[in-house]
Amino acid sequence: MLTLLLIGLAGAAPTHDIVPADTFTLDEVHGLAVDHTGSKAIFVRARWDDGLDVRKEDLWLLDPRSRATLRLTFGAADAHAPAFSADDAWVYYLTADDQGKAQLHRVSVGTQADQQVTRIDGGIDAYALGADGASLWYLTHQDEPVQDAWTSLRARLDKVTYTDRTETRSTLHKLDLRTWRTQEVWSPPSYVVDFAASPDGARLAAILAPDDALITHEGGSRVLIHNVDANLDIPVPDALWRANAKSPYGWMLGLAWSPDSRALAFRVDWDGHPGETYVAELAGDEPLVWAVPRPHEVSAQGDVLQWVPVFSKRELCYRGSDAARTRIVCVSSIRAGTTGDVRVFPSGDVVVDDFTFSGDGRDILALVGTPERFPDLYRLPARGNLLLPSQITTLNPQVVDWKLPHLQTVSWTAADGKHVEGILETPYGWDISQGALPMVVQIHGGPTAHEPFRRVFGIGGRTTFSSQGWAVFSPNYRGSTSYGDGFLTDLVGHEDDVDVTDILSGVDMLVEKGIADEDKLAVMGWSNGGYLVNAIVTKTDRFKAASSGAGVADQAMQWATEDTPGHVVNMVGLPWSKPESAISASPIYALGAVKTPLLLHVGENDERVPPVHAQAMFRGLDVYLNVPTELVVYPGAGHGPVKKSQRLTKISWDVAWFDKWVLGKEPTP
């Protein structure tokens, strides 16, 4: 059982003035696993590496009793996806080989000796350990050329480039850990996105998609159960999240078998609509499928699905967001289409980023952030409802000396009477008697997401600007999760409308309260936040400067070029079916109204919001409209810079841009 421990951060008054580079001293954690006795835990610790210019991920061992941690991996490549062996003697994990392909390794808990388990040409995609300790499964894929009427002509006229005409297929293999012999056990009819082996080893479940292109996953993914002994595929009926859903473009994720191997849980997420959790129970010729209940105001979050590891309980837990907090939601007695009680815990201002159970099911190891502390590992009883779990690590002890900003939630009434909330950061030691502050409005992405009520310090503006004398306002505008289904779906068909008015009315409230200086306002955001920046500057010139990262300019162009176009279809509609909706939700058509100096950021290889949007905004403003504009392109980056040097560049440009256009400071030569 994980021991109850409490670590405080009390001490002398902080003396360190936070600077942007301090963000690179913060360690981040994910990938939790606890051994079968609850006496040891493993986590993935990500730490910035100056030589590699990225975060380096390694496995660390935790003794919850003594709070001692021990680094287990030291390879050149990242280590991730850890799992304890059945006897708890080994920790299995994935890491890249010399060709950059994922291979399975294991490291001894006792001696820290490392062994490579697979040496597969092309690497493996995923793995699962057998509960008996004698076997494991791993997934590989292979590309096959598609044969059609034009194959020979393409081959003959080969001095040009054609659309990719290959299909990716997957194979599941079983490795006997006693004999070290491998056999192919299943070749599903299409690409495997994810898979899970039942605890008794009798069944494999897989999320399938037509191929590995993300566009085929939304609306084209399905769940299949394979009976290993009978070599029989059992489809899981999909009417609940396809034919009977408000949108057919749902993403499937997070497979998890119940301890008795008879029920399979998974999630389906939609852009613009509430995500749901489903259970398929093996009963008769066809699985019985139903949605797991959730409180109406709680939004299911992420792909972490955990059954309480007690054979008889049939209790399923997942992360649920509730008014910018994220808690654990547990549903009991899941059998034959029925469920029992629903518990939501812990209470208080907590954001649970990840969690897993101890082997006996009595305790939970969770990664938790709060308004006072950056995320750390905590212990909480699985049946408890503590105000705050008990902290068992201090991953970033340096912050005890930081002058951290003050966090609070704020609420206001939107133009149409809707109650809206957001997160407000103000500088350390500031109070209203000191007068209004320059304010940055920082807008979250998604939009089917929300800004969490916990400490955040990255490239988005939070902590960075509030540590330099600004207020930072992060509104959870209409379309955000965690405020009820209606609040989420209000945005469908109304992008660049209710979301913008929600944000601007929140700014009005902070100006009226004397918190924000009306003459010193800036706005910034990334992804959907960048899109909303583009939209806002076409509607008002009250912001003295703006920073748009990976922001959409044209919804029809976004549908045509992004890797997940279901978002546009859900929110706006297909261009030929609702052209007026696409135009009204596209800032590019109102660009002539822009007066605000605009800083544009984009990844060179961004497939989610391709660079053409930023290029179009830049051309219109810089060439035709003579509005101060700068376009920053991050070489090799996708939907956001991951290199340390690029992230520091992003922060530095934002600070310099706002300093000049809002505060009147000239940039340093």
User: 96, 91, 62: which is closest to 79 by C-alpha?
Assistant: 96
Residues 6+ apart with CB under 8 A from 574: 559
| Distance from chain centroid for Cα 438 | 30
Q: Which amino acid is at 124?
A: I
Mean pLDDT, rounded, of the chain: 93
Question: Do the Cβ atoms of 214 and 251 come closer than 8 Å?
Answer: no
Residue 8 has pLDDT above 50, yes or no: no
The tokens for 482 are 């965690």
The three-state DSSP-derived secondary structure of 415-432 is: CCCCEEEEEEEECCCCCH
- Distance in Å from the first CA to the final CA of the chain: 59
CB atoms within 10 A of CB 439: 28
pLDDT of residue 530: 98
Going from the C-alpha of 229 to that of each of 174, 189, 226, the distances in angstroms are 13, 18, 9
Distance CA 235, CA 213 (A): 22
Determine the Cα–Cα distance for residues 280 and 195; give it in Å rounded to an integer.
Answer: 15
The HSE-up count of residue 81 (CA atoms within 13 Å, CB side) is: 15
Report CA Rg, the chain.
25
For the four alpha carbons of 651, 652, 654 and 658, in that order, the dihedral sign comes to positive
DSSP codes, 142-155: EEEEPP-TTHHHHH
Judge whether 303 and 279 are in contact, CB under 8 Å.
Answer: no
- Indicate the pLDDT class of residue 4, thresholds 50, 70 and 90: very low
Report the distance separating Cα 525 and Cα 21, nearest Å.
Answer: 20
CA distance linking residue 266 with residue 527, whole number of Å:
27
pLDDT number for residue 102: 97
Kindly tell me if the per-residue pLDDT of 5 is higher than 70: no
At residue 2, the pLDDT reads: 33
| Region of poorest pLDDT, from 382-386, 410-414, 545-549, 637-641 | 382-386
How far apart (Å, rounded) are the C-alpha atoms in residues 299 and 301? 6
> 140-155, pLDDT tens digit by residue?
999 888 889 999 999 9
Using 50, 70 and 90 to split pLDDT, how confident is the model at 10? very low
Q: In the predicted model, what is the mean pLDDT of residues 375-384?
A: 86
Residue 590 CA to residue 596 CA, distance in Å, equals 13
Contact, 277 vs 300, CB < 8 A?
yes
Q: Which two tokens stand for residue 79?
A: 């280590």
Give Cα 58 to chain centroid, integer Å: 20
Q: Report the alpha-carbon distance of residue 471 to residue 6 in Å, rounded.
A: 32
* Span of 93-102, 167-176, 332-341, 582-591 with lowest mean pLDDT: 332-341
DSSP conformation class of 398: G
pLDDT surpasses 60 at 1: no
**What average pLDDT does range 292-309 have in this prediction?**
89
Domains and CATH numbers, the chain: 402-661 (3.40.50.1820)
How far apart are the C-alpha atoms of 164 and 539, rounded to whole Å?
41
Bridge-based pairing of strands 437-443 and 471-476 is parallel
Q: Which residues pair with 136 in a beta bridge?
A: 129, 175
Model confidence at 387: pLDDT above 70: no
- 3-class DSSP state for residue 638? strand
Q: Which pLDDT score is estimated for 311?
A: 65
**Other CB atoms closer than 10 Å to residue 501's CB: what's the count?**
18
Confidence of residue 338 (pLDDT cuts 50, 70, 90): confident
- How many Cα atoms within 13 Å fall on the side-chain side of residue 535? 28
d(CA 22, CA 29): 17
Least confident of 183-192, 355-364, 408-417, 610-619: 355-364
pLDDT reading at 394 higher than 70: yes
Percent of the chain's residues with pLDDT above 70: 97
Q: Which residues make Cβ contacts (< 8 Å) with residue 285, sequence separation at least 6? A: none
Alpha-carbon distance of 365 to 376, in angstroms, equals 10
So what's the pLDDT on residue 386?
A: 55
pLDDT for res 3 = 32
Tens-digit pLDDT profile for residues 39-87:
999 999 999 999 999 999 999 999 988 899 999 999 999 999 999 999 9
Q: 493-545: per-residue pLDDT in tens?
A: 999 999 999 999 999 999 999 999 999 999 999 999 999 999 999 999 999 99
Looking up tokens 């070599």 gives: 231
Cis preceding-peptide flag for 628 (omega within 30 of 0): no
Residue burial 376-387, b: 16+ Cβ < 10 Å; e: rest: bbbbbbbeeeee
Which stretch of 123-132, 337-346, 405-414, 561-570 has the lowest confidence by average pLDDT?
Answer: 337-346
Which pLDDT tens digit goes with each residue over 197-232? 999 999 999 999 998 989 999 999 999 999 999 999
Residue 576 confidence class, pLDDT cut points 50, 70, 90? very high
